[in-house]
Structure 1
Amino acid sequence: MDTKGTIRTGTAGWVFAPWRGTFFPKGLVQKNELAYAASRLTSIEINATFRANQKPASFARWAGETPEGFQFSVKGPQLVTHIKRLKNCAEPLANFFASGPLALGNRLGPFVWQLPPNLAFDRESFAAFLELLPRTSEAYLALARQADSTKAEPFLDATEIGTIRHAIEPRHQSFDAPEANDLLAKYNIARVIADTAENPARELTADFAYCRLQGPARLDANGYGQADIDEWAETMGQWRDAGRDVYAYFVHEDKLHAPANAIALRRALGITLPGD
């Protein structure tokens, strides 16, 4: 019997002042915002890790404020993607993986690596970076153990951690080369689906799909309407029924309505939560 995948929908981050009184109920104290967001969404992309490594206690606290089945994705650090530009980055990768993402436990979803728009495809450096990314807990721990322990005590508890997943969002046109997707497929790494006019493609390069929905892709778009939501629900439903897990985040410029779009997509897929 075929096994269906799981679809999770959400937003990039959860701290956004204009959501207070719109998505968040009026009077909700800020320390309770993640718990509320996790009661309406089924995944959130952690963006704070892009700017700086976070502490294990923070990851553990975030995990503790979410219900069973909820997952976070974790954005890779700019030190790796934008400063090192994927080269000579074994040490910062080790430091990042040792910094505490494992403290999310079974709330840990994929890692996502957003490349700078001016980083062109180079087969040698790209392949070397993909080779470094751990895809099992054993490989993760092996790399994390190489972290600089003088900066912080490495967090190496992989309890409840299974397969490690990665998604990469290239933003330079040179990555449209089939060779780039071939490399991603070789390492079972998902190419991020952006849904923009510049990047409308929906290539699946892994056994799961990762969407950072920034469109819609049509040029006349003014945010996601119900027809867009329904169309995405149909597409993602097909991926799920084929056995793929799907992570879908609304990260477009219309951030005010991102939670509502994520909830609408969830409901269009027939996924209900307590309180619906």
Structure 2
Amino acid sequence: MKNHVKIGCSSFYNSFWKNVFYPQNLPSKKWFEFYCQHFDTYEFNGSFYKFPTVRIFQNWYNKTPESFLFSVKVPKEITHIKKLIDCESRLNDFYNICKEGMKDKLAAVLFQFPPSYAFSREKLHAIIGILNYNFKNVVEFRHESWWNDEVWNAFKENNITFCSVSYPNLPQTIFKDFPILYMRFHGIPRLFHSSYSTEELREIYRQIRSKKGFIYFNNTASEAGILNALELKRMTV
């Protein structure tokens, strides 16, 4: 069966990747163009740190190939500071900016909550109640209490994807029965640094080969992320 999983990274502007991925003489202003020659998706994390504008997303849209797709992270003011409380208007603005700026190149909208955000029914209902279901919503938790049937059943009923994460001290479950497969590899045991072995990547590919979705490598504090992404991509060809 043909593989429909798109593979990419969660950053690209990375001096560790020089001579490993980027040619030595390639100026940094051309790094993203070079990235797009090898990958067809990118996880845009800049919006987590600074609320984006339509113009910023339009610029990204215009510099990428026709079939390129972006997954975009929700600003931390919504997920980490306010933790969804009194955020309806702000989140609606974000959705609209994504739609207007990224247009047909928008893949998923990623909500990533902090490790301190533990499960409660109140929080689960808050998530379900605030999302715009015209978008592919993916939720990443970093507290193990969210790994439970009540959450998974509620997400499936509401067409929300539970993010598969490779993160220290969290379950390594690969979730394959949500609307899309969405995986983020952060590095274990050393967060953002550690590499995944060929054997680990081969086992991941064995599990996801017939699925549709996205895999992003966020172990980008070294050369590990780009090397892992390239190796896994080669397995899918």
TM-score clears 0.5? yes
Distance 2:111 2:17 in 1: 26
Question: Which residue of 151, 155, 160 corresponds with 1:180?
Answer: 151
2:173 is the counterpart of 1:206 = no
Question: Which residue of 184, 193, 197 corresponds with 2:164?
Answer: 193
- Equivalent residue number for residue 28 of structure 1: 26
Question: Which residue of 71, 82, 85 corresponds with 1:84?
Answer: 82
Q: CA RMSD in A?
A: 2.2
Query: SS of the residue aligned with 1:194?
Result: strand
Say if 1:214 and 1:37 are closer, same or farther in 2 by CA, change over 3 A: same
Q: CA deviation at 1:91?
A: 1.7
| TM-score under structure 1 length normalisation | 0.77
Q: CA deviation at 1:105?
A: 1.9
Distance 2:53 2:27 in 1: 23
The answer to whether the 8 A contact 1:87-1:129 is kept is no
Q: What do residues 139-184 of structure 1 show as CA deviations (whole Å, max 9, x unaligned)?
A: xxxxxxxxxxxxxxxxxxxxxxxxx201111111221222111221
Larger Rg: 1
The answer to whether the 8 A contact 2:49-2:76 is kept is yes
2:218 is the counterpart of 1:247 = no
What is the aligned-residue identity percentage? 25
- Equivalent residue number for residue 130 of structure 1: 128
The alignment covers a number of residue pairs equal to 233
Distance 1:111 1:31 in 2: 26
5+ unaligned residues in a row in structure 1: which ranges? 137-163, 271-276
Query: SS of the residue aligned with 1:211?
Result: strand
- Equivalent residue number for residue 260 of structure 1: 227
The answer to whether the 8 A contact 1:192-1:212 is kept is yes
- Equivalent residue number for residue 224 of structure 1: 196
Return 7-16 or 199-208, whichever deviates more: 199-208
Return 44-53 or 205-214, whichever deviates more: 205-214
Q: What do residues 56-115 of structure 1 show as CA deviations (whole Å, max 9, x unaligned)?
A: 222122122222322110001101110111222102202222334532122111011110
Q: What do residues 24-77 of structure 1 show as CA deviations (whole Å, max 9, x unaligned)?
A: 112222322211111111211101100112222221221222223221100011
Distance 2:221 2:53 in 1: 30
Question: Which residue of 37, 40, 44 corresponds with 1:39?
Answer: 37
Question: Which residue of 53, 65, 73 corresponds with 2:51?
Answer: 53
The answer to whether the 8 A contact 2:195-2:225 is kept is no
- Equivalent residue number for residue 234 of structure 1: 206
Distance 2:42 2:148 in 1: 30
Say if 1:130 and 1:70 are closer, same or farther in 2 by CA, change over 3 A: same
Q: CA deviation at 1:125?
A: 2.9
Distance 2:167 2:125 in 1: 26
Query: SS of the residue aligned with 1:167?
Result: strand
Say if 1:102 and 1:11 are closer, same or farther in 2 by CA, change over 3 A: same
5+ unaligned residues in a row in structure 2: which ranges? none
Counterpart of 2:161, as a letter, is A
The answer to whether the 8 A contact 1:14-1:34 is kept is yes
Q: CA deviation at 1:253?
A: 6.0
Distance 1:66 1:22 in 2: 22
The answer to whether the 8 A contact 2:187-2:196 is kept is yes
Query: SS of the residue aligned with 1:68?
Result: coil
Q: CA deviation at 1:216?
A: 5.4
Q: CA deviation at 1:215?
A: 4.1
Question: Which residue of 40, 60, 63 corresponds with 2:61?
Answer: 63
| TM-score under structure 2 length normalisation | 0.89
